[in-house]
């Protein structure tokens, strides 16, 4: 008898597994597949790319050909290989920048929301609102411009440090709706500390919101890195899609009719960012069941 | 009244925070600007001449003394509008260099911002009113896709297509054949040069307004007062424009200033691509040649402009929406 009862109780829960919900959205499926392909390309870059990303042994500034699908740049480097290797920079900056920015946003937003109305909240809210009104890109550019050697960690750090505010604000609003639920009161009475309540009692109830915030932050970080690199402020030890565009613009690629050199790096970037937006649609189905398709 | 006092208080505090941040950023960095400049003049591998570095430091008015006294004199300089001397445009001051580029960007960004706002609001409101129609679906899908494109890439494509391909518009600079001044030839020249940068920004900036306006308008259309208006038999046009759209405008007004910060960021890249003689290109240039005083001045100006715009939007919001005033009191 008891086994039958448990089965009927658990059946609907299984049907609503989070990966099924996300996968049920056509947009999210497309997004996940595309991001998976990008990840594979990044991991297998040495196998897929015909030449090294810095191998300048070819005739400079040639148009597309069978040997060089996207032509070569001023230094005689194969642009197609650069694009393949460039996926590594975008994905790593997206992953790390997204994680770091989300972590900062979580700590500041959750603590501030949980302590709503107190002095701590006032200070953190002021910090958040200030970070929100300062234009991000000029600040990132100013911070990065001071360093001569720019590694990926510096770029990731600066992007995360400047772009957490929007997410922190929405986390604050979300925790305010959760913090007076019974399970929080129960945790309080059982003597749990504030940090424990926030991060191990309340946070698990916000997983899908946090996941959506992470993908959003990762998208922002990828866009910001591309913007920096287009200005020539990209990482000094690796080539990203933005760097390729910077080199193409500096070499006057367009006036020389080398169109694919400009077109393809921007296109692969746009496809990646669109796919990530699609994934967010899928994650939103978890936090808002009204959006689910039948 | 409390609402306005709070908003002005927030403005003053953020202004102070931005000014202080601008003071701290260069001081947290390694390296000495005077040393750097002498090195640039002398060549990369030349031996540094101490006396030259000292002379350069005096010339640039580079900081000396304790951090606190530096901060004090920095605030004093700012109060007089003194942003230091540009390394590259020496002997021009940063304020003079910025002044030359200022109006190019203000006119470009101002026109783009106002036009995008109007277009975005109209498209968004109409899409919400005709929800799930073919118009709504295409507006939403196109906006979502175009919103993921990078402005600088759109700029490069437009240069290729409309600039080099068709030859309709000049692809670089702000003017060429005419002398700057208030005359027909110059205005035409400047406008045709501004067209492609403006078009690039116009493709990207209305998207936030379209989607935001559509969402708030859909929410408002579900409210009771709309049902009442319908029950009264008011014409559809009146319900859409005077009732739903008018109320849905409020959040967009509040977002106006924050969007300005985004546009100013996009302008840096777009102006750099088009070689448009505004503040954005100046910033790209200052980065490339390590003109730190100019870079700092531009950062400060951009941030202060956004703060002021934000204050105006906040005050306007308080006037437009009595609920906001009451909530703060």
pLDDT by residue (tens digit) across B165-217?
777 777 777 777 666 666 777 777 888 888 889 999 999 889 988 988 998 89
The mean-pLDDT minimum among A11-15, A26-30, B55-59, B151-155 falls in: A11-15
Test mutation, A31, A128, A146, chain B, max B CBs within 10 A: A146
Whether residue A14 has pLDDT greater than 80:
no
Distance from CA of B59 to the nearest CA of A (A): 21
Q: What are the chain B neighbours of A129 within 8 Å (beta carbons)?
A: 10, 14
Q: Please choose, from the candidates A101, A239, A238, the residue with its C-alpha nearest in 3D space to the C-alpha of residue A157.
A: A101
Mean pLDDT of the region A88-93: 94
Interchain contact, A135 vs B265, CB within 8 Å: yes
Q: How confident is the model at residue A292 (pLDDT cuts 50, 70, 90)?
A: low
Q: In whole angstroms, what is the distance from residue B276 CA to residue A25 CA?
A: 43
In a domain, A12, yes or no: no
pLDDT value, residue B62: 60
Q: Which of A125, A140, A230 to mutate to test the interface with B (most CBs of B within 10 A)?
A: A230
CATH superfamily label, B94-328: MetI-like (1.10.3720.10)
A14 domain residue, yes or no? no
- The arithmetic mean of pLDDT across residues B232-255, rounded, is 86
Contacts of A288 in chain B (CB under 8 A): none
pLDDT in tens, A164-200: 998 999 999 888 888 888 998 899 899 888 888 888 8
**What pLDDT was estimated at residue B30?**
64
Q: Within 13 Å and on the Cβ side, how many CA atoms surround B179?
A: 0
CA distances from A267 to A173, A234, A249, B31, B206 (A): 36, 19, 16, 38, 21
Which letter does DSSP use for residue B44 in this model? T
- Which residues contact residue A88 at a Cβ distance below 8 angstroms, ignoring those fewer than 6 apart? A42, A45, A238
Of B285, B230, B267, nearest in space to B152 by CA: B267
The pLDDT value recorded for residue A9 is 44
Q: What is the pLDDT of residues B65-110, one digit of tens each?
A: 677 888 888 888 888 888 888 877 877 888 888 988 899 999 999 8
* DSSP bridge partners of B85: B93
Long-range contacts of B59-64 (CB under 8 A, 24+ apart): B59/B85, B60/B33, B60/B34, B60/B84, B60/B85, B60/B87, B60/B293, B61/B85, B62/B33, B62/B34, B63/B27
Question: What integer pLDDT is reported at residue B150 of this predicted model?
Answer: 86
Tokens of B116: 């995008």
Domain that holds residue A283: 19-50+68-293
Lowest-confidence region among A13-17, B9-13, B206-210 = A13-17
Where residue B181 falls (left for φ over 0; alpha for ψ -120 to 50; beta otherwise) is: left
Place A72 in a pLDDT band, splitting at 50, 70 and 90: confident
Considering its fold, how many domains does chain A have in total?
1
pLDDT at A8: 44
Residues B53 and B89: their CA atoms lie apart, in Å, by 19
Q: Tell if the CB–CB gap between B25 and A231 is shorter than 8 Å.
A: no
Q: What is the pLDDT of residue B185?
A: 73
Structure confidence by residue, pLDDT tens digits, B114-163: 999 999 999 999 999 988 889 999 998 888 888 888 888 898 888 888 87
Cβ–Cβ under 8 Å, residues A238 and B136: no
Using the Cβ of A270 and the Cβ atoms of chain B, whether some distance falls under 8 Å is answered with: yes
Q: Which of A138, A245, A259 sits opposite B152 (nearest CB)?
A: A245
Write down the mean pLDDT value for chain A: 86
Q: Is the pLDDT of residue A117 over 90?
A: no
pLDDT at B178: 63
Q: Which residue of A has its CA nearest to B27?
A: A146
> Which of B149, B153, B287 lies at the smallest CB-CB distance from A145?
B287
Which among B30, B164, B307 has CB closest to A133?
Answer: B307
The answer to the question of residue A215 being in a domain is yes
Residue B282 has pLDDT above 80, yes or no: yes
Q: Does A135 touch chain B (CB under 8 A)?
A: yes
**Residue with the larger pLDDT of the pair A221 and B38:** A221
Task: Write the residue in A136, A146, A147 that is nearest to B265 by C-beta.
Answer: A136
Q: What is the domain-level CATH number for residue A133? A: 1.10.3720.10
pLDDT at A30 over 50: yes
Burial class (CB in 10 A: 0-12, 13-18, 19+), B132: exposed
Per-residue confidence (pLDDT) for residue B328, from 0 to 100: 57
> What local confidence, expressed as pLDDT, does residue B279 receive?
92
CA distance A209 to chain B (A): 19
Asked if A249 is an interface residue toward chain B (Cβ–Cβ < 8 A), one would say yes
Q: How large is the average pLDDT for residues A135-160?
A: 88
Please write the tens of the pLDDT for every residue from A145-154.
887 778 899 9
Banded pLDDT at A2 (limits 50, 70, 90): very low
pLDDT, tens digit, 9 for 90 and up, residues A253-288: 777 878 888 899 999 999 999 999 889 988 888 877
Comma-separated ranges of CATH 1.10.3720.10 domains in chain B: 94-328
Better-predicted residue by pLDDT, B52 or B202: B202
Cis upstream peptide for B91 (omega within 30°): yes
Q: How confident is the model at residue B46 (pLDDT cuts 50, 70, 90)?
A: low
- Residue A92 maps to a domain: yes
What is the complex's ipTM, to 2 decimals? Answer: 0.82
pLDDT of A294 reads: 44
Q: Measured between alpha carbons, how far is B169 from B210 in angstroms, rounded to an integer?
A: 28
Rounded to an integer, the average pLDDT of B33-54 is: 70
pLDDT digits (tens, 9 = 90+) for B222-235: 889 999 999 999 99
Q: Is-contact B108 B266, C-beta < 8 A?
A: no
Count Cα neighbours of B126 within 13 Å in the Cβ-side half-sphere.
10
Structure confidence at residue B182 (pLDDT): 67
Share of chain A above pLDDT 70, in %: 93
**Which of A25, A132, A142 to probe by mutation at the B interface, max B CB count within 10 Å?**
A142
| B248 pLDDT tier (thresholds 50, 70, 90) | confident
CB-CB contact of B152 with B165 (8 Å): no
pLDDT at A13 exceeding the cut of 50? no
What number of CA atoms fall less than 13 Å from residue A233's CA on the CB side?
A: 31
Nearest CA to B271 among A249, A60, A203, A34? Answer: A249
pLDDT of residue B38 exceeding 60, the answer is yes
Mean pLDDT of B300-309: 90
């Amino acid at each position: 008898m008891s086994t039958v009862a448990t089965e009927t109780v658990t059946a609907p829960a299984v049907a609503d597994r989070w990966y099924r919900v996300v996968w049920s959205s056509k947009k999210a499926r497309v997004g996940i597949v595309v991001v998976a392909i990008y990840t594979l390309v990044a991991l297998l870059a040495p196998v897929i790319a015909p030449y090294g990303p810095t191998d300048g042994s070819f005739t400079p500034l040639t148009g597309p050909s069978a040997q060089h699908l996207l032509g070569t740049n001023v230094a005689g480097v194969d642009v197609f290989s650069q694009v393949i290797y460039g996926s590594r920079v975008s994905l790593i900056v997206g992953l790390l920048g997204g994680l770091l920015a989300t972590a900062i946003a979580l700590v500041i937003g959750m603590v501030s929301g949980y302590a709503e109305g107190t002095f701590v909240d006032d200070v953190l809210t002021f910090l958040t609102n200030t970070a929100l009104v300062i234009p991000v890109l000029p600040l990132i550019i100013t911070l990065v411009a001071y360093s001569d050697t720019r590694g990926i960690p510096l770029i990731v750090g600066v992007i995360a440090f400047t772009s957490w505010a929007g997410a922190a604000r929405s986390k604050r609003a979300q925790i305010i709706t959760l913090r007076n639920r019974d399970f929080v009161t129960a945790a309080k009475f059982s003597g749990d500390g504030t940090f424990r309540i926030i991060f191990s009692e309340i946070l698990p109830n916000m997983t899908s919101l946090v996941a959506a915030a992470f993908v959003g932050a990762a998208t922002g970080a990828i866009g910001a890195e591309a913007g920096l690199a287009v200005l020539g402020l990209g990482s000094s030890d690796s080539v990203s899609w933005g760097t390729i565009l910077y080199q193409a613009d500096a070499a006057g690629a367009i006036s020389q009719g080398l169109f694919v050199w400009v077109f393809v790096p921007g296109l692969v970037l746009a496809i990646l960012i669109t796919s990530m937006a699609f994934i967010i649609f899928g994650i939103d189905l978890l936090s808002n069941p009204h959006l689910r398709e039948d | 009244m409390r609402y306005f006092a709070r908003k002005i208080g927030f403005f003053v505090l953020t202004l102070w925070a931005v000014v202080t941040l601008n003071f701290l950023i260069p001081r947290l960095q390694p390296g000495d600007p005077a040393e750097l400049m002498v090195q640039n003049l002398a060549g990369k591998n030349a031996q540094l001449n101490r006396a030259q570095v000292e002379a350069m430091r005096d010339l640039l008015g580079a900081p000396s003394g304790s951090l606190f006294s530096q901060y004090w004199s920095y605030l004093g300089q700012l109060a007089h509008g003194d942003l230091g001397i540009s390394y590259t445009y020496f002997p021009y001051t940063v304020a003079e260099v910025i002044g030359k580029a200022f109006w190019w960007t203000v006119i470009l960004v101002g026109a783009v911002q106002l036009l995008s706002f109007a277009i975005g609001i109209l498209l968004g409101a109409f899409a919400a009113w005709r929800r799930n129609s073919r118009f709504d679906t295409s507006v939403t899908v196109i906006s979502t896709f175009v919103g993921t494109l990078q402005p600088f890439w759109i700029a490069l494509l437009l240069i290729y297509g409309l600039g080099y391909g068709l030859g309709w518009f000049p692809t670089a600079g702000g003017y060429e054949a005419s002398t700057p001044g208030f005359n027909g030839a110059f205005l035409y020249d400047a406008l045709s040069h501004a067209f492609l940068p403006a078009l690039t920004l116009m493709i990207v900036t209305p998207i936030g307004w379209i989607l935001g306006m559509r969402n708030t308008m859909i929410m408002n259309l579900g409210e009771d007062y709309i049902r009442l208006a319908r029950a009264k038999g008011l014409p559809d046009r009146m319900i859409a424009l005077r009732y739903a759209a008018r109320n849905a405008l409020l959040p967009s007004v509040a977002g106006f200033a924050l969007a300005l910060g985004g546009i100013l960021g996009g302008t840096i890249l777009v102006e750099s691509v088009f070689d448009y003689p505004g503040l954005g290109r100046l910033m790209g240039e200052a980065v490339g040649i390590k003109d730190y005083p100019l870079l700092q001045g531009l950062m400060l100006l951009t941030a202060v402009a956004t703060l002021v715009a934000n204050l105006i939007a906040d005050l306007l919001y308080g006037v437009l929406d009595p609920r906001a005033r009451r909530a703060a009191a």
